[in-house]
Structure 1
Amino acid sequence: MIGTVREVTPNVDAGTVLTGAQFIDAFRVEVGAAALNAREACTRMVLHGPRWALLRLRNILVRPFGLKTSGEGAPAPGGLIGLFPVLSETPERLVAGFDDSHLDFRIVVDISGNAASRQVTSTTLVRTHNLLGRTYLALIMPFHKLVVRNMMGRIVEPVR
């Protein structure tokens, strides 16, 4: 059904996207005949909605620990979508994320299906490096699924 977000089995090669990932999950939403590419889907996910308040809070909380905050880090080959550096991109797949001292993070946005029935899948991969990374991951997990489901729902809103 168009607009229904559901958790699915991840279908990315974790070894290629983020070798050694300790966490991976994926969510999919049906978008019907909407003509959009991976960048547009990712932009709708990331740049629309109220989650920026959570990101501002996150940036305030992690700054004392020396962790990257929005806008920090090396320039990305594909620019930024929100605070996420775009690492690689085709019309069907966009990979964004960053490496930090505590963990490495990737989001993969895939477009699949045919012109009459398209799906967007968002896969999250995380590799932690130390106790701080594992602690951070454990702290955000209760919110992760809720935030991703909300983000995925925003892909469909402009085309309804």
Structure 2
Amino acid sequence: MNPVREVTPNVDADAVLAGAQFIDAFRVEIGAATVSAREACTRMVLNGPRWVDALTRLRNILVTPFGLKTSGEGAPAPGGLIGLFPVLSETPERLVAGFDDSHLDFRLVVDVAGDDTNRQVTSTTLVRTNNLLGRTYLTLITPFHKQVVRSMMARIAEPAR
């Protein structure tokens, strides 16, 4: 059974990405495990399933002719990079990563909450499309998005078992 479940997003969308047209959130319970938001994001992004890496490589190949950003592109971020995601802000309990591109703007919010015996990590995705290409891209990736996030979030719980 996958320990990851979809939950109602609980972030201030206007503060994170004003005008976001897409927002969803997933949560995984990690029990008494101690993890910071950066550690949780790193486990998700850098230790994800190989099939997610393959999808990312395919995506990079397909979007290059359209001038969209690919892995490793973009301006330096205040908190460095986690995988291809620039870290925009960070506390031990919350990490915000993402970037703005010509077709859409994207944010990933990783929150760690709970007490010493019952912690959980929530991953919230926000997207604001900027044009027809962005709306088309979002429509095409949405069916894959939920499965990708669930698989990546499951990696957070594995070390805690």
Give the residue type in structure 1 aligned to 2:158.
Answer: E
Q: Give the aligned partner of residue 16 of structure 1.
A: 15
The answer to whether structure 1 residue 139 and structure 2 residue 112 are counterparts is no
- Mapped partners of 1:54, 1:76: distance in 2: 24
Deviation >6 Å, runs of 4+: none
1:34-89, Cα deviation, whole Å (9 max, x unpaired): 01000000000001121111110000000000000011110000000000000000
Aligned length: 159
Give the drift of 1:19: 0.3
Cα deviation for residue 120 of structure 1 reads: 0.2
Partner Cα distance (1:142, 1:102) in 2 = 19
What is the TM-score normalised by the length of structure 2? 0.97
**Number of the residue aligned with 2:59:** 58
**AA matched with 2:53:** W
- CA shift, 1:4, in A, is 1.3
Aligned equivalents of 1:37, 1:140: Cα separation in 2 = 28
Deviations 1:98-147 (Å, cap 9, x if unpaired)? 00000000000000000111000000000000000000000001101000
Query: 2:89 corresponds to which residue?
Result: 88
State the Cα distance separating 1:159 from its structure 2 match: 1.8
Structure 1: 5+ residue runs without aligned partners? Answer: none
Q: TM-score, normalised by structure 1?
A: 0.97
- Identify the residue that residue 25 of structure 1 maps to in structure 2: 24
